[in-house]
Amino acid sequence: MEHDTVTGSRIEITHLWKAFGLSRRKTPAEMDRYSREPSLVHGKKQVIAVRDISFSVDEGEVFVIMGLSGSGKSTLIRCVLRLVEPNAGEIVVNGKNVTAMDKKQLIAFRRTQMAMVFQHFGLLPHRTVLDNVAFGLKVRGVDKKERSGKAADMLKTVGLEHWGSQYPASLSGGMQQRVGLARALVQDADVLLMDEPFSGLDPLIRREMQEELLRLQREMKKTILFVTHDLDEAMRLGNRMAVMGDGMFVQIGTPEEIVQNPVNDYVHRFVKNNC
């Protein structure tokens, strides 16, 4: 993928930690000490899913987080939107400190600044395709005529302009994922979070969706944080990528740099097994 011109960071993550089983906030230094001697809850140690991660994503960049199951990548991307509450660290998006927001501020931020595409489409089966795409705008308070018009335009953008009156059950998996993508894009958020959005699709449909995302990215130039376990997908989509293991970033670089110059045996094995 050719690199777009970037003008500054959209996402800044600093010393982020998440331990499941530990509810209260701590400082990064406290979390570092805790990670070496984790306390017990009901006789079990807490699971540290994200360990002291710091990175930034530039405006217009596709940053891919790649790792095996259990590496912490999905927990990390959910922390960015505070669907999972981090225990320590700072998340800044578009210059706003997400970790400092109260509930009301966070709801407003989610409705306007970020959109997320999940692996499972999460479409509402009792609503038409058009209404599914427009649902976020409805929640935001946009009037029916305007939200229907925007949703129809976005369905045309993803190649589903003739399917607005249908229900999700009548669509193929690839078409349903296009609806999920349209639902995120219609929000007109600067930042997209994508958690293995194509992993449940057949290989041919998955490739088509990757090409569709690249086409949309050339037009819209969103800032995208994309999670995957597939190296080919990371190579095709990413400007930069991070290989994650045991809750940490083991290596960050362009896909070519990581494939050609793995920093240790873990990355080497990961790249080799995915090639």
**What pLDDT score does 30 carry?**
87
What's residue 51's pLDDT? 95
Q: What is the pLDDT of residue 146?
A: 94
Residue 263 pLDDT exceeds 60: yes
Task: Calculate mean pLDDT across residues 125-148.
Answer: 92
Predicted pLDDT at 45: 64
Q: Is the pLDDT of residue 6 over 50?
A: no
pLDDT for residue 44: 57
Report the alpha-carbon distance of residue 176 to residue 196 in Å, rounded: 15
pLDDT reported for residue 270: 83
pLDDT (average), residues 259-274 = 86
pLDDT of the residue at 112: 87
Residue 241 has pLDDT above 80, yes or no: yes
Burial profile 102-141: b = 16 or more Cβ within 10 angstroms, e = fewer = eeeeeeebbbebbbbbbbebebeeeebbbbbbbbbbeeee
pLDDT tens digits, residue range 208-230?
889 989 988 998 899 999 999 88
pLDDT of the residue at 222: 93
Q: Is the pLDDT of residue 42 over 90?
A: no
Residue 144 pLDDT > 60? yes
Q: Model-level pTM?
A: 0.88
Alpha carbon separation from 180 to 77, 160, 218, 268 (Å, rounded): 17, 12, 19, 34
Structural domain boundaries in the chain: 58-83+100-274
Q: Which residue has the higher pLDDT, 169 or 47?
A: 169
Residue 127 neighbours by CB under 8 Å, 6+ apart: 135, 167
Q: Where residue 122 falls among pLDDT bands split at 50, 70, 90? A: confident
SS3 41: strand
159: how many CB neighbours lie within 10 A of its CB?
14
The pLDDT of residue 188: 86
What dotted CATH number matches 58-83+100-274?
Answer: 3.40.50.300
> What pLDDT band is residue 46 in, cutting at 50, 70 and 90?
confident
**pLDDT at residue number 202:** 84
Mean pLDDT of 99-124: 88
For the residues of 192-209, what is the DSSP string, one character each? EEEESTTTTS-HHHHHHH
| Residue 82 and residue 159 in contact, taking contact as beta carbons nearer than 8 Å | no
